[in-house]
C-alpha cells in the first residue's frame, strides 16, 4: 500500500488546479508551474487590455443580460468580471456608440487572450515544461 510520501502524484488534479488558477488570475497558471516571467507578462498584458476596454467604454460594457456573447468572452478574463457585471447591473452606466463597441472589443479580447494563456499553462503543465509541484528533482 502506497504511503503518503510515495503515492503517485495526481496529475489530473494538478492540471485542473493550473487551469482554475490561470482563469482566476491571468498568468496564475504559469506562475504555479514556475514560469514567473511568462506569468508577469501575461498578467500585465491581459489586465492592461481589460482596463483599457473599461476606460474606453466604462463599466457599463460588462453586461451579462443585454450583451451575452460579449459577456461570455469577457468572463474568460477572470471571475472578477462577474462581480463587475453585477455592479454594472445595479447601477446606471449607459454607454452608446463607438466607445461601447471599442470597449467591448478590448475586454472580450482580454478574455480570449486569457483563454489562450489558460490552454498554454495546462499544456505546459501536462508536458512537464517548467517546474511541477509534487515531482522530485532527479539528481544524477
Q: For residue range 114-131, what is the model confidence (pLDDT) as tens digits?
A: 999 999 999 999 988 766
Contact (CB, 8 A) for 130 and 27:
no
Alpha-helix residue ranges (DSSP H) falling in 4-131: 11-24, 28-32, 36-57, 68-74, 80-90, 98-127
- Domain membership flag for residue 90: yes
For the chain, residues with pLDDT lower than 70 are: 1-9, 130-140
- Domain membership flag for residue 61: yes
- Domain membership flag for residue 138: no
- Domain membership flag for residue 5: no
Domain count across the chain: 1
Residue with cell 504555479: 32
- Domain membership flag for residue 83: yes
- Domain membership flag for residue 73: yes
- Domain membership flag for residue 135: no
- Domain membership flag for residue 77: yes
Enclosing domain of residue 121: 11-127
| pLDDT tens string 57-71 | 999 899 998 889 999
Share of the chain above pLDDT 70, in %: 86
pTM of the model: 0.82
Amino acid at each position: 500500500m502506497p504511503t503518503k510520501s510515495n503515492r503517485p502524484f495526481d496529475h489530473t488534479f494538478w492540471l485542473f488546479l493550473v487551469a482554475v488558477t490561470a482563469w482566476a488570475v491571468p498568468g496564475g497558471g504559469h506562475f504555479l508551474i514556475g514560469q514567473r516571467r511568462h506569468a508577469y507578462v501575461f498578467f500585465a498584458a491581459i489586465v492592461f487590455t481589460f482596463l483599457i476596454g473599461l476606460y474606453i467604454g466604462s463599466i457599463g460594457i460588462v453586461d451579462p443580460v443585454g450583451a451575452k456573447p460579449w459577456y461570455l468572452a469577457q468572463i474568460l478574463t477572470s471571475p472578477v468580471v462577474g462581480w463587475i457585471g453585477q455592479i454594472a447591473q445595479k447601477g446606471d452606466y449607459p454607454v452608446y456608440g463607438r466607445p461601447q463597441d471599442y470597449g467591448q472589443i478590448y475586454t472580450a479580447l482580454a478574455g480570449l487572450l486569457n483563454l489562450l494563456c489558460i490552454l498554454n499553462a495546462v499544456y505546459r503543465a501536462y508536458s512537464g515544461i517548467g517546474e511541477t509541484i509534487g515531482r522530485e528533482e532527479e539528481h544524477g
